[in-house]
C-alpha cells in the first residue's frame, strides 16, 4: 500500500502524504513553507512569517473553550536528506516515496521525513479541524532544525501569548520529554600539497557501506559502526605495512547529525603492492565484521578505479589519518544522574578532501552533544585539540544550549494524568541525548512551560527511517486529549 493518506487517522496522514510530495530538505524549505501559508489562507487562519522564515499560525478557540489557556504547538518543517548509494533521488526535486511495510511506514531508499513531518501533519490536521474542541492555538513551524536550528535560534519575542507549549518532535510513544542535550559543531580544515603519481602506480577505491547509521544523538549509545572510523582504521593499517601507499581522496559521511553509513577512499600503491593491499583490506574487514556484529549489512571492498591526477603529500596524509584515528567518537560519558542516558558524545560525521581555487584541504565535521553546556564546550575542545596537534585549524561553531528539565512542570503533570486516564499506565518522563528546539525557544519565551512527545519512529536520519502506524494513531488520540484538557485561565 503506497496511499498512506488512507491510514488512520486520515486527517493527519493526509497532510503527511502531502508533505512527502513537496521537497523540503534542510535549508530548502521554501516550497513547503509556501504550501503551509496557502493552506492557512484558504482556511481563514492567521498566518505570518517571521524575519528568519519561521511560519506562525493562529486559530481562535472553539465555542465553549474561550476561557482556556492559549496553547502553543511546535514542530520543524525540514527533513534530513539521506539516501542509499544505489538510490537515484534528488532531494531538491523528487518527492519522497512512502509505503506501508507491515506495521510501519517507510520510504523507498531514502529518509522518510517522519522526523518531524508527523508532528507538522498533526498540527495542520488540528488547525484544519471543524469538529475538535480546542483552546486558542498558536503554532510555530520552524525552519532548518536539522542543519543548525536556524529557525529556533533566530526566533524573537513578541509573537506568542501562550504560556504552554507542546513540542511534537520526539520518537517514542508513551514517553514525555522535559530536557535535552545541547550541541556544538567542530569544523576542521587541514591544508595539504599534492604529489604526482609514479609510472607503475595503481589506484583503488576502498568502499565501506551498508552500515546502519542513524541519529547521532538518539543512536550514539548503540555501538553502531562509523564509516569514517572504519575506513580510516583500514587505511592506517595499510599505511603501517605499506609506507608507499598514497591517499588521493576521502569522502565519508554526509550530515553532522547522522552517524556515517558510507565512506569512499581513493588509494594509490605501486603495482607490486596491490596484492598485499587487498590482503590487508580483507583481513581488517573480517576483524571489523566480528567486532561490529550488529552491522549485518556491512560491506567492505576494494576495487580498481580510474587513476587520479595526484595524491596527498606523505606528511599531511599521515597526520590526517592518525588524527582521525585519535579523534573521540561515540559516547564520552554516561549521565550519573539519569540512568541509561548519554551525557556527552561526539559524532565524527564528515571527512572529505576538496580542491578550491587551486588549494587542497581535508575537511572534517563533528557534532558534540552534552546535557551540560560546559561539558559540551570542553569535549568540543578535546576534539579540536586532536586535529590541532596535526597542524589543522579547528573551530567550535553553531553552539546551542540544552533544555533544563523542570520535573514540577504543571503541563507535565497534566499530560501524565491524561496518559494514565487513557491507558491505565504511567508515561515515562525522560531527558533525551539529542537536540530539541525547546532549549533555544526558552530564550525569547522564558515563560513557556514545555513538554515534548511523539509517535514511535525508528532509524531517523537514515534511509531505514520508519514510523509505527498504530503509534501514530495513539499519538493523535493522546494529542487531542491533551489539547482538550488544557485548563482555564487563572
- Considering 78, 173, 185, 219, which one is annotated as catalytic? 78
Residue with cell 550488529: 294
Cα separation of 398 and 362, whole Å?
20
398 vs 400: CA distance, rounded Å = 6
CB 376 within 8 A of CB 208: no
Pairing relation of β-strands 393-400 and 182-192? Answer: antiparallel
Strand partners for 428: 175
DSSP H stretches of helix in 186-273 = 227-241
Q: How far does the chain reach from its first CA to its final CA, in angstroms?
A: 48
| DSSP sequence for 411-448 | HHHHHHHHHHHHHSSPPEEEEESS--THHHHTTT-TT-
Please, which residues bridge with residue 175 across strands? 428
* Residue pair 195/311 in contact by the 8 Å Cβ criterion: yes
- Determine whether 78 is an active site residue: yes
- 145 in catalytic set: yes
Q: Are 419 and 426 in contact (CB under 8 A)?
A: yes
Q: What is the longest distance spanned by two Cα atoms in the chain?
A: 84
- Give me the helices (H) in 50-146, please: 114-128
Count of alpha carbons within 13 Å of 48, Cβ hemisphere only?
A: 7
The active-site residue out of 29, 115, 138, 145 is: 145
What's the angle, vertex CA 231, arms to CA 228 and CA 235, rounded to 5?
130
Task: Tell me the catalytic residues.
Answer: 78, 145
Amino acid at each position: 500500500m503506497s496511499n498512506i493518506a488512507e491510514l488512520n487517522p486520515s486527517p493527519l496522514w493526509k497532510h503527511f502524504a502531502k508533505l512527502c510530495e513537496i521537497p523540503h530538505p534542510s535549508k530548502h524549505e521554501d516550497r513547503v513553507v509556501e504550501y503551509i501559508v496557502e493552506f492557512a489562507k484558504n482556511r481563514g487562519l492567521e498566518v505570518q512569517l517571521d524575519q528568519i522564515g519561521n511560519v506562525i499560525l493562529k486559530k481562535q478557540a472553539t465555542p465553549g473553550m474561550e476561557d482556556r489557556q492559549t496553547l502553543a504547538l511546535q514542530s520543524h518543517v525540514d527533513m534530513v536528506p539521506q539516501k542509499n548509494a544505489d538510490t537515484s533521488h534528488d532531494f531538491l526535486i523528487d518527492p519522497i516515496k512512502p509505503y506501508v511495510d507491515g506495521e510501519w511506514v517507510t520510504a523507498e531508499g531514502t529518509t522518510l521525513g517522519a522526523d518531524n513531518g508527523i508532528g507538522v501533519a498533526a498540527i495542520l490536521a488540528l488547525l484544519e479541524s471543524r469538529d475538535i474542541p480546542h483552546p486558542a492555538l498558536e503554532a510555530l513551524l520552524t525552519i532548518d532544525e536539522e542543519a543548525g536550528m536556524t529557525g529556533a535560534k533566530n526566533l524573537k519575542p513578541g509573537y506568542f501569548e501562550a504560556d504552554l507549549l507542546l513540542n511534537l518532535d520526539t520518537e517514542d510513544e508513551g514517553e514525555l520529554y522535559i530536557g535535552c542535550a545541547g550541541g556544538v559543531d567542530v569544523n576542521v580544515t587541514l591544508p595539504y600539497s599534492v604529489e604526482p603519481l609514479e609510472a607503475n602506480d595503481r589506484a583503488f577505491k576502498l568502499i565501506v557501506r551498508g552500515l546502519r547509521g542513524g541519529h547521532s544523538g538518539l543512536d550514539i549509545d548503540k555501538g553502531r559502526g562509523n564509516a569514517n572510523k572504519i575506513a580510516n582504521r583500514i587505511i592506517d593499517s595499510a599505511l603501517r605495512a605499506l609506507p608507499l601507499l598514497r591517499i588521493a581522496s576521502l569522502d565519508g559521511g554526509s550530515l553532522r547529525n547522522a552517524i556515517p553509513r558510507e565512506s569512499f577512499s581513493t588509494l594509490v600503491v605501486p603495482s607490486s603492492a596491490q596484492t598485499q593491499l587487498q590482503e590487508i583490506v580483507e583481513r581488517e574487514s573480517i576483524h571489523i565484521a566480528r567486532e561490529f556484529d550488529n552491522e549485518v549489512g556491512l560491506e567492505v571492498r576494494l576495487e580498481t578505479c580510474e587513476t587520479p591526477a595526484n595524491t596527498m603529500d606523505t606528511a599531511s596524509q599521515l597526520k590526517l589519518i592518525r588524527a582521525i584515528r585519535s579523534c573521540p567518537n561515540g559516547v564520552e560519558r554516561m549521565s550519573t544522574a539519569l540512568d541509561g542516558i548519554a551525557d556527552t558524545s561526539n559524532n565524527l560525521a564528515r571527512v572529505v578532501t576538496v580542491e578550491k581555487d587551486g588549494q587542497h584541504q581535508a575537511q572534517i565535521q563533528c557534532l558534540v552533544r552534552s546535557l551540560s553546556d560546559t561539558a559540551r564546550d570542553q569535549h568540543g575542545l578535546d576534539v579540536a585539540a586532536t586535529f590541532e596537534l596535526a597542524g589543522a585549524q579547528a573551530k567550535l561553531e553553531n553552539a546551542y544550549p540544552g533544555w533544563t528539565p523542570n520535573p514540577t512542570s504543571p503541563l507535565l503533570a497534566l499530560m501524565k494524568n491524561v496518559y494514565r486516564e487513557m491507558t491505565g499506565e504511567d508515561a515515562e518522563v525522560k531527558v533525551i541525548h539529542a537536540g530539541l528546539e525547546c532549549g533555544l525557544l526558552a530564550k525569547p519565551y522564558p515563560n513557556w512551560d514545555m513538554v515534548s512527545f511523539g509517535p514511535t519512529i525508528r532509524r531517523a536520519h537514515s534511509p531505514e527511517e520508519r514510523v509505527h502506524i498504530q503509534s501514530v494513531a495513539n499519538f493523535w488520540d493522546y494529542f487531542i486529549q491533551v489539547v482538550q484538557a488544557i485548563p482555564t485561565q487563572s
